[in-house]
Amino acid sequence: MRTTTDVPVRKNDEVTLDIIGLTQDGEGVGRADGFTLFVQGALPGERIKAKVLKVKKQYGYAKMLELLQASPDRVEAPCPIYRQCGGCQLQHMDYAAQLAWKRQHVIDSLTRIGKLRVADVAGEGVVVHPTIGMAEPWRYRNKAQVPIGMALADMADGAAGSLIGGFYARGSHRIIDMDACFIQHERNDEAVRLVKALGTRLGIRAYDETTGRGLLRHVVVRTGFATGETMVCLVTNGTRIPRVDELVEGIRRALPDVRSIVQNVNTRNTNVIFGDETRVLWGSDVIHDELDGIRFAISARSFYQVNPAQTVALYRKAVEYAGLTGRETVIDAYCGIGTISLFLARRAGKVYGVESVPEAVEDARRNAALNGIANASFEVGLAEEVIPRWREAGVAADVIVVDPPRKGCDAQLLDTIVRMRPKRVVYVSCNPATLARDLAVLEAGGFRTVEVQPVDMFPHTGHVECVVLLVRK
């Protein structure tokens, strides 16, 4: 077995690499005497000089020192802090090339992990369509989750000091302070800048995760693209915010579109952003947005897709794959606040949604009522527990839609889908690797993967969303 002592490179070695691919995190993949090195900022087809930073048994990491031969897909990243910030990974890659790479990433996962055959020129196998991209792939995010810290000088001298806020540097929890993010809605940027300035003036201290002291952990801002409504959520390490009335008044005065100012309390020593308690400081507990004619109420902790334009493209494709005629019974696993469920309900006979987060189910029920949709019902619980109970109660699904988190579907849920034998399964995925794994299980259980539509929900990052049609064999 290879050890770190017999690999062909050592830490601090300088090597010349030909970049042959990209990882799912957007790192270039190079080889040095057959040994794999990952290099941030390198693109396929490039030759670079690099310095080895870290060596493990099977692979290592290196830093690009010099670009010897550039890829034709290389472009200048417009963001001034792109090289330091960990928010984006692919701003240095032409957008058309990003879309092509994301499709290939899906294909590679399907073939290597799922052992599926992808359609070739003869047309046999799973059809993987070209990635649906955006005409304008900037300023697309409706939600900002920004960690807050203190300027280093202020931390050292113990003064009240100034707040900073921005995404973490790559591979660390060091905050890169920013005034603007090129993939955020401008109003999100404005709100974050405002809270930093107001908090600094009012003497509010940022939370320090190493000591567990300080108050303000994150600023979370949501903007309804269709309605223009804004929510500002302050995530705090404790319930009391000093001079809170002045803070709220300052936000209201500077942001005329703000409809909700809330506080979420998280006193745990954790990387999880939200705690369990959310309280309204001013205004409503929700804001509203609209997708394809359906209106949604969105609370602070609701899961709501961050790219509205691409969400419509994704969900329209999901409805198309469901093949609804108006009579079908549909189950929506991991239904969240009912976004896909309500899209489906306009074409289905009955939709059952299940979600483990109680607040999300409350939002889903409220959203159904908000739109006058009476043929969708929602239940709190784990999909792998609730859906088998529905099956025992006699619910026979014609179509099952799943939109799981990155870890994919629970094994028990996949088993339930196989046992329920719906005519169609529509799988919405944010992780091609776990998608491919689950498709292999469903294929073995009697389903055939027909086609896959990648959708670029997160331009300039390594993430790709997919919607997949499976039919019962």
Distances (CA, A) of 376 to 165, 217, 258, 321: 41, 37, 31, 19
Count the Cβ atoms, other than its own, within 10 Å of residue 392: 8
Residue from 85, 335, 430, 466 carrying the catalytic annotation: 430
Q: Is 123 helix (H, G, I), strand (E, B) or coil?
A: coil
The angle at the Cα of 245, spanning 179 to 167, to the nearest 5 degrees, equals: 25
Instruction: Dig out the tokens for 68 from the structure.
Output: 């010897």
Strand positions, DSSP E, 125-256: 127-128, 143-150, 163-165, 216-223, 230-236
3-state SS class at 142: coil
Residues 6+ apart with CB under 8 A from 367: 294, 295, 296, 297, 337, 338, 342
CB 459 within 8 A of CB 138: yes
Question: What is the Cα–Cα distance from 425 to 387, expressed in whole angstroms?
Answer: 14
Rounded Cα distance, 407 and 431, in Å: 8
Told to judge if 430 belongs to the known catalytic residues of this protein, a careful annotator would answer yes
Query: Residues 235, 288: contact at Cβ < 8 Å?
Result: no
Task: Catalogue the active-site residues.
Answer: 430
